[in-house]
Structures are given as C-alpha cells and as structure tokens.
C-alpha cells in the first residue's frame, strides 16, 4: 500500500448516523463488498485485517439497522458456512456508493477551495536559483 | 441532553480526509465555534467535555492542515491567554457548515430511501387485537 502523501487529493468521507442504531459508513460498506466477493464473513474480515468476531458484529449491526437483512449467512457446512448479500443489501451497497459520488460532485467547488488553502509540506521553494554545477 | 431515539431523523455526517495531515470533521468545526464564542481554547474544550490538552492538540492539527492559521492564541495574561478565529478560520467554518447543508440537500432522496427501510424498534404492532378490558 502506498503511503499517504500531501499530494494525494482531499477525500470527502460520508457516514450516516442512525440515532440509537449505529452508523453506516465505509467500514460496513467495504465489508459488504468483500462478502459479495468472497462469499464468507470471515474471509471478508480477513481482507480488511479484521477479526471474525468484529466482522460478525458489524454484519449483525447492519442487519439490525434495517427492516430487511442485508447479509444472509449459514453456520456450519464443509467450508464453515457461507454468506451472501441479499437483494436489499445489494441495493443498499450500490446506493451508498452512488451517494458518495453525488457528494463528490456536490462539493467539488468546496473541495477545490480547501485544496487551494491546504498546507504544502516539502514542496519545492517557488523561487530557486539555477544550479549550474 | 435528550437520548437518541429511533424516531430521530438520519443524520449524514461529513468528514474530509487530508492525506498525511489529518481529518476535518465535526469535532474541529465545533471546537472552532466554541472558540469563537468563548474566546478561549480551554473554555471551548470544556464546553465539549474535552481536556485542555486534547483541545489544544486539535487546534494545533487544524493550524497545520492549512497554509494559513485558523486559530490565533496568546499564552499568559490575566485570564491565561485568549484565542480567536482568524479571518481564514471564520471562512473555513462557514464553508464547512454550508457544505453540510449542501450534502443534506444533495442526498435528500437517498436519506428518504434509507429512512423508509430503517428498522422500527418498539413500534406498535400493525395488527393488534382490541383490548376491551
């Protein structure tokens, strides 16, 4: 993984607070993407350097936030049970990603303003004598 | 303070990640508002149940994120020094609050969708026998 640099663009991050029921943000959304890809809560957790317990708790919280389940899982079986997104989970995932894109567009001018006023560390000095050696 | 309820509206929360330089979000923005109001970093911290050290670190991080300082402070003096927003800090504050409003507007339809699919805890059962006792 590349280290963060002051040259990297500013990144707006969206989170939705559900009063008394938790938060919906990058963590749960990425976990759902990994579940879709791996078919397993534990593999999805591993892909995010997360314990099985932590991944399971996030899935459980996600399922309790909505009237419909987002992730379905079976315990047991040859591979320790599988997990998959429900149709609702899939819709939620796509909608959240679309919201992030909309956010980026809506805030474009403000992000440009912030970027223009951001501290520049380690940037070359704007005036530099020509080194002829 | 009122306890959070499942009846409270969903709240989109904005944060801007500055790669290698920290995050700009509710905490720093509220702290700036309290500094504007109280004229003091320690009083602003107290208003947010935050230690002076924590408040001071957030101000320091904020000042290092931008090419211009957001908060100016003096040590010493009769009241232990005061603090105030710079013109740039004031502009940043107002812009962030405007960004939050823009976010709310841009995501209005999605927030309504999320709210419509949210779990309803403790709601009365839709079908209920009439208790005549």
Nearest of A73, A95, A69, A94 to residue A84 by alpha carbon: A73
What CA–CA distance (Å, rounded) separates B115 from B69?
Answer: 40
Q: What is the DSSP letter of A74?
A: -
Q: Write down the ipTM of this complex.
A: 0.83
Phi-psi category of residue A66: left, alpha or beta, with phi > 0 → left and psi -120 to 50 → alpha: beta
Task: Annotate B73-107 with b (16+ C-beta within 10 A) or e (fewer).
Answer: beeeeeeeebbebeeebeebbeebeebbebbeebb
- Express each pLDDT in B92-120 by its tens digit: 999 999 999 999 999 999 999 999 999 98
**Is A119 close to B24, i.e. CB distance below 8 A?**
no
pTM for the model: 0.82
Which of A20, A26, A28, A122 would you mutate first to test chain B, the one with the most B CBs within 10 A? A20
A75: pLDDT confidence band, cut at 50, 70 and 90? Answer: low
Cβ pair A17:B3 closer than 8 A:
no
Structure confidence by residue, pLDDT tens digits, B41-82: 999 999 999 999 999 999 999 999 999 999 998 765 555 569
Nearest-CA distance A3 → chain B (Å): 8
C-alpha span between B121 and A65 (Å, rounded): 10
Q: Residue A132 has what pLDDT?
A: 39
Q: How many CB pairs under 8 A join A and B?
A: 128
Picking from B3, B87, B114 by the largest number of A CB atoms within 10 A of its own CB, the best residue to mutate is: B114
| Percentage of chain B lying above the pLDDT 90 cut | 75
């Amino acid at each position: 993984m590349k280290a963060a640099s002051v040259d990297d663009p500013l990144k707006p991050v969206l989170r939705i607070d559900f009063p008394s029921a938790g938060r919906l943000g990058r963590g749960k959304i990425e976990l759902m993407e990994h579940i879709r890809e791996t078919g397993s809560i534990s593999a999805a957790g591993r892909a995010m350097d997360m314990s099985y317990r932590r991944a399971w708790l996030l899935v459980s919280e996600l399922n309790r936030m909505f009237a419909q389940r987002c992730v379905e899982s079976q315990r047991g079986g040859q591979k320790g049970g599988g997990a998959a997104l429900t149709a609702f989970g899939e819709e939620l995932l796509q909608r959240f990603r679309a919201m992030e894109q909309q956010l980026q567009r809506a805030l474009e001018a403000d992000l440009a303003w912030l970027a223009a006023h951001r501290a520049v560390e380690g940037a070359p000095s704007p005036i530099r004598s020509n080194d002829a050696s």
